[in-house]
Amino acid sequence: MSDASADNIVNEAEFGDYFALLKPRVMTLVVFTAFVGLLAAPVSVHPFVGFTAILFIALGGGASGALNMWYDADIDAIMRRTQKRPIPAGKVTADEAKALGIALSGLSVLMLGLASNWFAAGFLAFTIFFYVVIYTMWLKRWTPQNIVIGGAAGAFPPMIGWAAATGGVSIESVLMFALIFLWTPPHFWALALFMRNDYDNAKVPMLTVTHGRRSTRAHIFWYTVVLAVFAIAAGFTSLGGPVYLVVAGVLNIQFLIGAYRIWRRDEVGSEVDNFAEERKFFKLSLAYLFLHFGAILVEAGLDRFGVWA
Amino acid sequence: MTIGRQHELHKRRFSRNMGLGLVLAAFVVLVFGLTVVKVTGGNVSQAISGTTGQ
């Protein structure tokens, strides 16, 4: 820095600002679902290898988050939810985020390949490509189905965890993918119903804007119906068992009731109670995903300790 | 704005340097651990005692 102005110096980044580029909250979901995918697999992995695999799957997810922040810096500066991210806040430059994202992408793929296998590493590379190029650069600003496409990127980690253990893909890992993939749209569309202006201002084509709020409510309900079918189906594979089926049964009934109520409501009724039903559904969706994967983890643990054997 | 010897800027730079240092140290430990596990086939104690387990 040759002309260090006072403003530049005041805004200089700390370590935490670079860490924030990796979207730590999204990384926790990646760590958790990849961990479940790895443990649910029928092949046991050395704990250190498993730990390394999860770490670099998470780092790959973080790297794609940094590349997403680099590319989306313009809309992040407009949306209230994202204005405090390191680039719009002036802490880190977009070029630094790009360099960090590219470097960590390469490192995470290489290390995952060395720790587990090259199929899993290739899968991680594809996931980063999918999230950054297909979703962020291409479809996010172009189609109202952006949430559906973006959901696919978020749904790959349990499949990568499974692949790190087994070296392949199976019906179980595809069902774990389906669980997150189909859960993402109702989760985000419920958010879009009560966080109204953010996406409009940034000109991101959310379903609420392009197809209207009535259509979004119907979409939430029908996606939830399909999600419930896949969530219950997973219970009849090696992922499931009595614990999973009870958890999935209760949660899917609650989720369907919530989605049905959102579908039947009109805007006037929603505004009267400040979108209470939509907010409740959004909160339930967080528990929904966590508890489904938690139940898969419990089943894997019970299986390993021979409880159902 | 005057920049003294103990400006907040130095704290930020220290946080960056310390963070990067710790990350690099952790990476070295990780690669070493992974190498040990891979070379010994996960059976570290047997490899240290020199028996093959056959």
Instruction: Output the 3-class SS for chain B.
Output: CCCCCCCHHHHHHHHHHHHHHHHHHHHHHHHHHHHHHHHHCCCHHHHHHCCCCC
Rounded to an integer, the average pLDDT of A169-196 is 93
Give the contacts of A233 (CB within 8 A, at least 6 positions apart).
A175
What's the pLDDT band for B2 if we cut at 50, 70, 90? low
Q: For A13, which residue in chain B has the nearest alpha carbon?
A: B12
Nearest to A111 by CA among A153, A168, A63, A71: A63
pLDDT of residue B1: 57
Task: Determine the 3-state secondary structure of A143 from DSSP.
Answer: coil
| End-to-end Cα separation, chain B, in angstroms | 72
CA distance A61 to chain B (A): 17
Distance of alpha carbon A112 from alpha carbon A52, whole angstroms: 7
Per-residue pLDDT of A72-131, as tens digits, reads: 999 999 888 888 999 999 999 999 999 999 999 999 999 999 999 999 999 999 999 999
What's the pLDDT band for A1 if we cut at 50, 70, 90? very low
Distance of alpha carbon A298 from alpha carbon B3, whole angstroms: 56
Q: Which residue has the higher pLDDT, A279 or A270?
A: A279
CB pairs under 8 A between A and B: 41
Rounded to an integer, the average pLDDT of A127-151 is 91
Distance of alpha carbon A20 from alpha carbon A16, whole angstroms: 6
Rounded to an integer, the average pLDDT of A137-145 is 88
Rounded to an integer, the average pLDDT of A53-58 is 97
pLDDT of residue A203: 73
ipTM rounded to 2 decimals: 0.79
Q: Which two tokens stand for residue A304?
A: 């390993």
DSSP A21-82: TT-HHHHHHHHHHHHHHHHHSSS---HHHHHHHHHHHHHHHHHHHHHHHHHTHHHHTTSGGG
What's the pLDDT band for A150 if we cut at 50, 70, 90? confident
Radius of gyration of chain B, Cα coordinates, nearest whole angstrom:
21
**B10 in contact with A at a CB cutoff of 8 Å?**
no
What's the pLDDT band for B54 if we cut at 50, 70, 90? very low
Rounded to an integer, the average pLDDT of A61-72 is 96
Chain A residues with CB-CB distance to B33 below 8 A? 48, 52
Rounded to an integer, the average pLDDT of A217-224 is 96
Which CB contacts under 8 angstroms, 24+ apart, belong to A187-190?
A187/A282, A187/A285, A187/A286, A187/A289, A188/A147, A188/A151, A189/A147, A189/A216, A189/A219, A189/A220, A190/A220, A190/A262, A190/A278, A190/A281, A190/A282, A190/A285
Per-residue pLDDT of A229-265, as tens digits, reads: 999 999 999 999 999 999 999 999 999 999 999 999 9
Chain A residues with CB-CB distance to B42 below 8 A? 46, 49
pLDDT of residue B53: 47
Between chains, do A14 and B1 touch, taking CB under 8 Å as contact? no
Identify the weakest region by mean pLDDT among A21-35, A57-71, A191-205, A278-292: A191-205
pLDDT of residue A10: 63
CB of A53 closer than 8 Å to CB of A38: yes
Q: Which residue has the higher pLDDT, A105 or B49?
A: A105
Q: Which of B3, B16, B34 sits opposite A115 (nearest CB)?
A: B34
pLDDT of A276 above 80: yes
Please give the mean pLDDT across all residues of chain B. 82
DSSP A146-177: HHHHHHHHHHSHHHHHHHHHHSS--HHHHHHH
Chain B residues with CB-CB distance to A49 below 8 A? 34, 37-38, 42
pLDDT of residue B3: 60
Q: Which two tokens stand for residue A44?
A: 């046991």
- Percent pLDDT > 90 in chain A is 73
What's the pLDDT band for A2 if we cut at 50, 70, 90? very low
pLDDT of residue A161: 98
CA torsion sign, A191 to A197 to A202 to A203?
positive
pLDDT of residue A202: 74
Please give the mean pLDDT across all residues of chain A. 91
Distance of alpha carbon A86 from alpha carbon B49, whole angstroms: 51
Q: Which residue has the higher pLDDT, A299 or A304?
A: A299
pLDDT of residue A65: 95
CA distance B16 to chain A (A): 4
What's the pLDDT band for B4 if we cut at 50, 70, 90? low
- Percent pLDDT > 70 in chain A is 94
Distance of alpha carbon B38 from alpha carbon B44, whole angstroms: 10
Q: For B21, which residue in chain A has the nearest alpha carbon?
A: A15
